[in-house]
Every structure is written in structure tokens, then in C-alpha cells.
């Protein structure tokens, strides 16, 4: 981590900057020994120390052994990026002497960022720099995951932490078998792994939703509040809608059933997105868009899966899987698509334990330099194969057709042909799976001869086309015969007037991205659709 980032993370404000901040907060007197905040607290203010001194600490092991992590003095900022996200605090702050602080709420911070660009940008940059330090291990981890790389639940938790940019450490007993003994000594059964350890709790075999709740990342809507727009899906289209909606003053909430980035977020490299001549990973692009949306005022929550949408009065009631509800004046469906699955025996058994639908650094770590097979001939398959090969794996691309030229971009084909550890096998299908707890071998069948052969395989990556995630909404809006959402001029079953651009058959519900019928299925196109949908929403909301 560069000194510049470290210096920015611990910026001290001068008297003039503090005076400019006073109108956005309130002064609080904090007696000596008082906890300003502690581990597990959520919905925290941002604090600026006006006078006195605070000690930053962490619960120790055992709990009574407090870890001293430093001190804060006058002019110092006390707070992290969780001021904007609601994530639970990972440390505590105690007044060493009688002190005085300026407390700035999330609302006050957003007012500041809108009204005072220079100072708002500085505070936002400080919060982002602190998160970068956390992610790089420069401060403290807010989460430790203990679990085997061969357990699908472990990979779900680690994948969520990475995509949501949560500072964490992954302790894998496959790398250090003594961890199993330590777990048993702590009174925990091996069958209860993986563990998610936070400063205030030990979760045994938690779901992603349970972990998110513990970290304070689940949004709890207020039924009386009506949002201007709720965006369902946090892929490129949904994030673009969030950025443009929030920047134009709309009360914007984004819900995603998994995590920020969508399928594009799992791409190892996007090389044809305008403005990035050397390419950018899908995860980094999603991270930048997420930061931008949150800085502008959008609230992003994950996991949050929408179960149904009902038209009520002049808006919509959205019901989530946990039975909570949100009210919205408009909705953007950026729900994306799901990769198809092969009809194979034992497929579900090996999902997350050798069968994957994304190729990120997480899957690459699991597979190491072993033999892997990528099934599919599109760009996603090509990007995955190249990335895995770059990480040291021996890669086989298996396709049903005669060549890659019919479905893959030329620049990817050139790279595949130039890679010494990628082989392309044509007219081939994967027809069998085998392994004990983790995928070990696959059966490949020649489509012309019917010959079956067994091959070692520690990772099978499936990129064989996709289906839209629209079954749950099919009774409210019109879909085409493949399940994609019809919009504007393609709509035949209109409720009222001709739909606006990107509007569905239900007035007030818009669609953008891969799930929309006729979309290009490219990141740049999805970003354009998400932002354009907001223009139509303004027209819809105008009296």
C-alpha cells in the first residue's frame, strides 16, 4: 500500500475545514472512559475530534485482553466507510480524557458532499482509503472465515466477502491442518465448518444472508417510506441506473440477490469497455460503480432477493424473501441472466466443489495448476480459459461445434491459440462426473463417434448460454417466448398508453440489461440501458 494512501487514510483536518463541517453535525461532550462506539455497532455517525483524545481498540482473545490499535487527537477523523453502508464497526473507540467531538450523520455527510465538493471529496476519499487499508491488511479484519476450499459453503462466504469488499481473512485447513485441532479444542465440531468469526460472534455454517445480517449489511426498509426508484439487480445495468438515479436526486435503492457486480463482476478481464485501454476486471468495474452510486446517495444492499411485485395505488409494493416490503414509485428490472446447467448426474453434488459458473481469483486458487475444463464457446468462456491459464492451470476448452469463430471475438481466439497451456477440443460434450466430495474426473464424449474417455479435472467451468431470471415476474409484465422482458415498441399487451423507452407492459416498471429482449448482452450496452431507463423514469414520475 502506498504512503499516499496511508497518509490520506489518516488525514487530520485543519481549523478552517472543521469550521466548514460544523453546520452539518452536532457537538457532543464525551466524558473520560466513555465508549463512542464499539464492535458490532451499526448506523454510526462520522466523528471529528475537536478536543481531547480517544483510544482505538479491539476486543482481544480472551475478551478482557483489549488490543490497543492507536490514538486519535484533535483534528482526527474517526469513522470508516461503514458510515455510508451501515456495516457494523470492527473496533471500538474510548475517550482517554474528557473530550469533545463533532458527530456527522449519514444524512449530514451526504448534504456536505453535495454542497461542498472539495471538503466532501476529501472526506469520501479518506473513507475509501481506510477501506483499502483494511482490505490490504493494513488495519484490522472485520471477518475471519475458517473453512475448506473444497466446501461450497466456504466458497460462497469468501466469494461474498470479496465481491462486497469486506475486509476479511480466509483460514483454510487444507493449507494448515492444525486448524482442525484448534477448532475441536474450541468446542466446535468439524461438521460445523465453515465458521464466520466477527469481533462479536462466531457463526457456524452460516448462510450468506446470516453473515450479511451479522455484519449489518442487510437493509431494513421502512414500510411508510416510498422510494422514487428501486433497482433490482446490481450488475452493470443496475449500477448505472443507481448512479444516474441518485445523481439526479431520486431516492434510489438497489437490491441484489447475490452481490454487487452481477455476472460481469465475475469476469477476470473486460478488454472492450470504452476508456480502459488495458482492460479492467469485472470486479473492479463493479466496485468503482458501487462507490460512485453510494457517494451520490444510492443505497445498495445484498443479499436481498425480491419475491414479488404488486401494483398498488400510484406505485409498487416489493416483497423480499424475508417477508419485508419496500414501497416504490418506479422499478428498474436489471435482473440479468443465469448460466445454463448441464443435465448431468451428480451435478448439484459438485457445484461449488469442482463445478463453477465463474472464473475469478477465488476459483483459480482452488484449482491451482491442476487440469480444468471450460465448456462453452462464447466470450465468457474464452476470458475464463485465458485467466485460468495465466494462473497456471492446464485448460481444455470443450465445444459442441466445429470451431470458436462462430461465437467468440477474434482477439480472444488469437490469445487462446497463442497460449501453450490451452487446448480446444471440438465436437465434444461432457457427459459424466466423478469424485469423492470434490470433482476429480469427467467423461468426455465425441459427438461424431460416440467414444467416451475419462479425464482428470479439478475444475469444470460452465459457460453454455444463459436464461433470464424472470419467472417470478411473469404474471405482471409481458415476456417473449424465451422469457426475456419486452419493452417499449416490442410490447403488445399494454395497460395504457404506448410504453416509454425501456418501459415494460406495466407502467412504472422498466427493464435494462441482459434480461431485456433485444439487448446486446455486453457491459457497455447494459450501462447505457440502465442510465437511459432513468430518463424515462423522470418522464413517468413527472406530473
SS3 299: strand
Buried b (16+ CB within 10 A) or exposed e, 314-331: ebbbbebeeeeebbbbbb
Q: Where are the chain's structural domains?
A: 3-133, 143-214, 226-338+469-541, 347-464
The confidence score (pLDDT) of residue 181 equals 86
In this model, does residue 2 exceed pLDDT 70? no
% the chain with pLDDT above 70: 96
The overall pTM is greater than 0.75: yes
Q: Which residues contact 69 (CB under 8 A, 6 or more apart)?
A: 56, 57, 58, 91, 139, 140
Which of 84-88, 110-114, 261-265 has maximum average pLDDT? 110-114
Domain 226-338+469-541 matches domain 347-464 at the CATH topology level: yes
Phi then psi for residue 431, to 5 deg, are: -120, -5
Report residue 203 as a C-alpha cell. 457463526
Buried b (16+ CB within 10 A) or exposed e, 143-172: bebbbbbbbbbbbbbbbbbbbbbbbbebbb
Q: Given this structure, which CATH class describes domain 143-214? A: alpha beta
What fold characterizes domain 347-464? FAD/NAD(P)-binding domain (3.50.50)
* DSSP state for residue 479 in the 8-state scheme: B
Mean pLDDT value across residues 153-179: 89
The confidence score (pLDDT) of residue 261 equals 82
For domain 226-338+469-541, give the CATH superfamily. Answer: FAD/NAD(P)-binding domain (3.50.50.60)
* Beta strands, E only, 87-142: 92-95, 99-104
Assigned CATH for 3-133: 2.60.120.10
The confidence score (pLDDT) of residue 66 equals 61
Q: Which value, to the nearest 10 degrees, does the dihedral of the CA atoms of residues 402, 404, 410, 416 take?
A: -120
pLDDT for 111-127, tens place per residue? Answer: 998 889 899 999 999 98
Other Cβ atoms less than 10 A from the Cβ of 32: the count is: 12
pLDDT for 14-42, tens place per residue? Answer: 999 999 999 999 999 999 999 999 888 88
What is the overall mean pLDDT for the chain?
90
pLDDT for 203-238, tens place per residue? Answer: 999 999 999 999 888 877 766 789 999 999 999 999
CB 245 within 8 A of CB 298: yes
The confidence score (pLDDT) of residue 1 equals 44
The confidence score (pLDDT) of residue 86 equals 82
The confidence score (pLDDT) of residue 3 equals 52
pLDDT for 384-404, tens place per residue? Answer: 999 999 999 999 999 999 999
Q: In angstroms, what is the C-alpha Rg of the chain?
A: 25
% the chain with pLDDT above 90: 62
Q: What is the residue whose three cell numbers read 488469437?
A: 414
Mean pLDDT value across residues 335-356: 92
The confidence score (pLDDT) of residue 463 equals 92
In this model, does residue 69 exceed pLDDT 80? no
The confidence score (pLDDT) of residue 496 equals 67
The confidence score (pLDDT) of residue 70 equals 81
Amino acid at each position: 500500500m502506498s504512503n499516499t494512501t496511508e497518509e490520506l487514510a489518516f488525514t487530520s483536518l485543519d481549523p478552517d475545514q472543521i469550521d466548514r463541517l460544523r453546520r452539518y453535525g452536532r457537538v457532543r461532550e464525551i466524558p473520560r472512559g466513555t465508549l463512542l462506539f464499539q464492535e458490532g455497532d451499526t448506523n454510526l455517525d462520522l466523528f471529528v475530534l475537536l478536543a481531547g483524545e480517544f483510544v482505538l481498540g479491539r476486543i482481544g482473545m480472551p475478551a478482557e485482553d483489549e488490543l490497543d490499535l492507536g490514538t486519535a487527537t484533535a483534528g482526527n477523523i474517526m469513522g470508516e466507510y461503514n458510515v455510508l453502508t451501515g456495516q457494523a464497526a470492527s473496533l471500538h473507540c474510548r475517550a482517554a480524557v474528557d473530550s469533545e467531538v463533532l458527530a456527522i450523520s449519514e444524512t449530514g455527510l451526504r448534504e456536505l458532499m453535495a454542497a461542498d465538493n472539495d471538503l466532501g471529496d476529501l472526506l469520501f476519499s479518506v473513507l475509501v482509503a481506510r477501506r483499502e487499508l483494511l482490505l490490504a491488511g493494513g488495519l484490522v479484519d472485520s471477518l475471519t472465515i475458517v473453512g475448506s476450499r473444497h466446501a461450497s459453503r466456504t466458497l460462497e462466504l469468501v466469494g461474498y466477502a470479496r465481491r462486497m469488499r469486506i475486509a476479511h481473512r480466509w483460514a483454510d485447513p487444507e493449507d494448515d491442518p492444525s486448524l482442525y485441532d484448534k477448532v475441536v479444542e474450541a468446542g466446535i465440531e468439524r461438521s460445523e465448518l465453515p465458521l464466520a468469526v466477527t469481533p462479536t460472534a462466531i457463526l457456524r455454517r452460516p448462510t450468506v444472508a446470516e453473515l450479511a445480517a451479522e455484519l449489518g449489511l442487510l437493509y431494513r426498509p421502512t414500510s411508510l417510506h416510498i422510494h422514487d426508484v428501486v433497482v433490482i439487480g446490481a450488475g452493470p445495468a443496475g449500477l448505472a441506473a443507481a448512479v444516474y438515479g441518485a445523481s439526479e436526486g431520486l431516492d434510489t435503492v438497489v437490491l441484489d440477490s447475490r452481490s454487487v457486480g452481477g455476472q460481469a463482476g465475475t469476469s477476470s478481464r473486460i478488454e472492450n469497455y470504452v476508456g480502459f485501454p488495458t482492460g479492467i476486471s469485472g470486479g473492479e468495474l463493479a466496485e468503482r460503480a458501487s462507490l460512485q452510486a453510494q457517494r451520490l446517495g444510492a443505497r445498495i444492499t445484498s443479499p436481498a432477493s425480491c419475491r414479488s411485485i404488486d401494483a398498488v395505488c400510484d406505485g409498487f409494493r416489493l416483497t423480499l424473501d424475508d417477508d419485508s416490503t419496500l414501497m416504490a414509485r418506479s422499478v428498474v428490472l436489471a435482473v440479468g441472466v443465469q448460466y445454463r446447467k448441464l443435465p448431468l448426474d451428480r451435478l448439484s453434488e459438485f457445484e461449488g466443489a469442482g463445478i463453477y459458473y465463474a472464473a475469478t481469483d477465488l476459483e483459480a486458487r482452488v484449482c491451482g495448476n491442476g487440469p480444468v475444463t471450460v465448456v462453452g464457446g462464447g466470450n465468457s468462456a474464452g476470458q475464463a480459459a485465458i485467466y485460468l491459464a495465466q494462473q497456471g492451470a492446464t485448460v481444455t476448452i470443450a465445444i459442441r461445434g466445429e470451431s470458436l469463430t462462430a461465437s467468440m471475438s477474434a482477439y480472444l481466439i488469437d490469445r487462446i491459440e497463442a497460449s501453450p497451456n490451452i487446448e480446444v477440443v471440438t465436437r465434444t460434450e461432457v457427459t459424466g462426473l466423478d469424485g469423492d466430495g470434490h470433482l476429480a474426473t469427467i467423461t468426455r464424449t465425441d459427438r461424431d463417434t460416440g467414444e467416451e474417455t475419462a479425464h482428470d479435472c479439478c475444475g469444470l467451468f460452465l459457460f453454455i448460454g444463459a436464461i433470464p431470471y424472470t419467472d417470478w415476474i411473469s404474471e405482471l409484465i409481458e415476456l417473449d417466448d424465451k422469457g426475456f422482458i419486452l419493452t417499449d415498441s416490442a410490447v403488445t399487451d399494454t395497460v395504457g398508453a404506448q410504453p416509454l423507452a425501456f418501459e415494460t407492459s406495466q407502467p412504472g416498471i422498466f427493464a435494462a440489461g441482459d434480461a431485456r429482449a433485444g439487448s446486446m448482452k455486453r457491459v457497455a450496452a447494459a450501462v447505457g440501458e440502465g442510465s437511459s431507463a432513468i430518463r424515462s423514469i423522470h418522464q413517468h414520475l413527472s406530473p
